[in-house]
Structure 1
Amino acid sequence: MDFFQKLPKIELHAHLNGSLSNSTLSELHVLKYGKEPATERDESFYKITAGQNLTLKECFQKFKYAHDLTDQPETLAYATRAVIRDFAVDNVIYLELRTTPKATYHMTKTQYLTTVLETIRQAQKDYPTVTVKLLPSIDRSKGLQEATENVSLVLEMHQLYPDIIKGMDLSGAPYGTKFSDFATILERAKVRGLKMALHCGEFPDDDEVWEMFQFGTDRIGHGTFIGGSNLKFAKTNRIPFECCLTSNVKCSTVKSYEDHHFKKLWKAKHEVCICTDDFGVFDTSLSDELRICSETYGLSTQDILQLQENTIEYTFASEAEKQQLTKLFDLFKNTLKDN
């Protein structure tokens, strides 16, 4: 585990509210509610944040707690800073965070997004070892009007934070929606130079995957059910897969680590990277995910190092930032030679 911890790492698929650790959730609970007498609801909360093995239902309950605890600027800023800190402690040197702008009783969508962006900007000074970008999300389950509002807001904020907002994400429960309904909305962001990291192939629908490919996604979120001609297209066009091992196993979209599609992607030399998705919800870290990857699929330390170096090209970073990331990996490789 020492190697995986010391290894410089790149995280490209991490949702803000899903990346709140148990300790951060507890701190947020105190920050928002104070140390009030425990209610029945609180007893459930403390069980879930006690570090026990959780059922899938309990894992998703953590999302509800996270959203409740980050519904005001003070707690949202605290949460964003804590997530960046935790990735920095895990020696992540480049991070692309995702979150959907939300209007709550305590803040508007503009306040939500501004709070996250300002916290990222400040965190860059406090945690200079990690470069942080933001991919604002569209939650497709919320409908077209919400998506239209969010894209307009993102384009407005992109003018103020062009160094932080580098792309957009399409996520959320896909059932009952069609990607084609969102394509025109996302095109507005695409023509403004924002990259696309779409949740793609999370359920069996070859036609939707092909629509996303024709639209032009820059990366594939999960890609669990992509096969046949679509898989060949992804390889030919070098579209990277963001593979989230523990997330997929715990959500039962794959049966086990051994059955995860990363295995075939790696063997077939597809563009692929390892990500956490929601490290707080699923109680993992990028170091843990890379260790699992190595142990399950027989990747050597050199393979893991190459996997991470390859990921530099999949980032939405500037060319200068990519060069800096490459230098950091070169320095790490030199330390391995010295030892």
Structure 2
Amino acid sequence: MTIDAFIDALPKVELHVHLIGSASVDTVLELSRRHPGNGVPTSEEELRRFYTFTDFPHFARVYRAVNSLVRDPEDVATLVLGLAKDLAGQGGRYAELQVTPYAHHLVGMPMREVTQALDLAARRSLDDHGVEMAYIFDIPGEYGEEAARITVEHALQEPPAALVGFGIGGIEQEREKYRDAYRDAFSAARAAGLHSVPHGGEMSGPETIWETIEGYGAERIGHGINCLSDPRLVAHLRETRLPLDVCPTSNVCTGQVPDLAAHPLPRMLEEGLYVTLNSDDPPMFATTLAGEYRAAARTFGFGVQELAQLARNAVNASYLGEDRKQALLKEIDDLA
């Protein structure tokens, strides 16, 4: 079996992907035709040109444009189902999708209707595409106390059935000024039984990773690639087996590393860190979850065993039930 054939057949779990950033050209085309006159192309050819990644400012422009098309709960469900279809075509079996309730609040979507849309989309993702979908509600970190409050309220008062985690994203450097509000939000979410899955160490140094651990009670960390400059942190991550959800192509596109060859993923593994492989905002970065495995094979020379271990890591770090975990692990072991 060739490495490409192995990657195609490998059962995959996606632990770090954003609702807006997961939107494919086909999905955005559906939304742009549903809501015309919004500055987003409604012809496929023009939209594909618009969607082609060039640099980070262009990515931000595309992200904002797609976000502007998400106006009602039906649009939310369309995005979830679009991701499920895309994952099904590349061996994806399960995803923990990051949803930002504050963005929906800002356009006036009622919490209950958003929850109903997420519940419906989760059922249809499994029924129509064979992909099990769970959700993580995340705070946009630059928006402060109101964003934290709205996110917690939605998570505690009107949670979708498949809500498993609570996170924070956005501009990491902006979090310190809202430190107490964010700590309180995570404390409330954890008390309600949600897992703590914050971003940290993506666009800032080890200090934000420490804050996710000490302030947010992190059980898994999004990115974490800037941990290596702090030996004490590396030792802590290694000893606690705290998973880091790494997204290599995203890190190149956002300018955190100059190219894939310079990505710290191989060194993180050499240091004995617990790493999973993910896609973040895949269509906007011209990647897929399977594409991340291919890039790891091509760039770092990872073979079947290394890729299989990354897939196992994702299963074990997920919030799937134990029976589902064991079934997926057996599939991976049988293939490898």
Settle same-fold status: TM greater than 0.5. Answer: yes
SS at match of 1:167: strand
- The question of whether the paired residues in 2 share the 8 Å contact of 1:21 and 1:283 is answered with no
- The question of whether the paired residues in 2 share the 8 Å contact of 1:25 and 1:49 is answered with no
Q: 1:180 and 1:132 mapped to 2: Cα distance?
A: 31
Deviation at 1:248, TM superposition (A): 0.4
Deviation at 1:251, TM superposition (A): 0.6
Cα-to-partner distance string for 1:62-116 (whole Å, 9 max, x where unaligned): 2112111111122222221111111111111111101101225462244224312
CA 1:114/1:138 → structure 2, altered by over 3 Å: closer, same or farther?
A: farther
Alignment of 1:158-173 (within 5 A): 158=159, 161=161, 164-173=162-171
* Equivalence for 1:126: 128
Report the number of matched residues. Answer: 325
Identity in percent: 25
Cα-to-partner distance string for 1:24-58 (whole Å, 9 max, x where unaligned): 2112211222xx7xx97648996452364523222
Alignment of 1:175-194 (within 5 A): 175-178=173-176, 179-194=179-194
* Equivalence for 1:246: 249
Q: Given the alignment, which residue of 318, 322, 326 partners 1:323?
A: 326
Deviation at 1:317, TM superposition (A): 1.4
Alignment of 1:27-42 (within 5 A): 27-33=30-36, 42=41
Name stretches of at least 5 consecutive residues in structure 1 with no aligned partner: 334-339
TM-score, length basis structure 2: 0.89
Cα-to-partner distance string for 1:143-185 (whole Å, 9 max, x where unaligned): 1122112112111234x61xx1111111111233224431111
* Equivalence for 1:195: 195
CA 1:187/1:224 → structure 2, altered by over 3 Å: closer, same or farther?
A: same
* Equivalence for 1:76: 76
* AA of the residue aligned to 2:224: G
SS at match of 1:166: strand
- The question of whether the paired residues in 2 share the 8 Å contact of 1:98 and 1:134 is answered with yes
When the two chains are superposed, the root-mean-square deviation of aligned CA atoms in Å is: 2.2
- The question of whether the paired residues in 2 share the 8 Å contact of 1:26 and 1:49 is answered with no
More moved, 103-112 vs 7-16: 103-112
Name stretches of at least 5 consecutive residues in structure 2 with no aligned partner: none
Query: Aligned pair 1:309/2:312, yes or no?
Result: yes
Deviation at 1:211, TM superposition (A): 2.6
CA 1:111/1:46 → structure 2, altered by over 3 Å: closer, same or farther?
A: farther
Cα-to-partner distance string for 1:298-332 (whole Å, 9 max, x where unaligned): 11122111221122111111212212222332443
Q: 1:29 and 1:85 mapped to 2: Cα distance?
A: 19
Deviation at 1:6, TM superposition (A): 1.8
* Equivalence for 1:117: 119
Deviation at 1:120, TM superposition (A): 1.2
* Equivalence for 1:336: none
Cα-to-partner distance string for 1:189-236 (whole Å, 9 max, x where unaligned): 112221111101123344332232224211111112223211211111
TM-score, length basis structure 1: 0.89
Q: 1:202 and 1:122 mapped to 2: Cα distance?
A: 33
Q: 1:117 and 1:283 mapped to 2: Cα distance?
A: 28
SS at match of 2:35: helix
Q: 1:266 and 1:168 mapped to 2: Cα distance?
A: 26
SS at match of 2:31: helix
Alignment of 1:1-339 (within 5 A): 1-33=4-36, 42=41, 47=46, 49-50=48-49, 52-101=52-101, 102-105=104-107, 107-128=109-130, 130-158=131-159, 161=161, 164-178=162-176, 179-215=179-215, 216-226=217-227, 227-228=229-230, 229-333=232-336
CA 1:106/1:143 → structure 2, altered by over 3 Å: closer, same or farther?
A: closer
Deviation at 1:263, TM superposition (A): 1.8
- The question of whether the paired residues in 2 share the 8 Å contact of 1:28 and 1:79 is answered with no
SS at match of 1:90: coil
Q: 1:199 and 1:329 mapped to 2: Cα distance?
A: 28
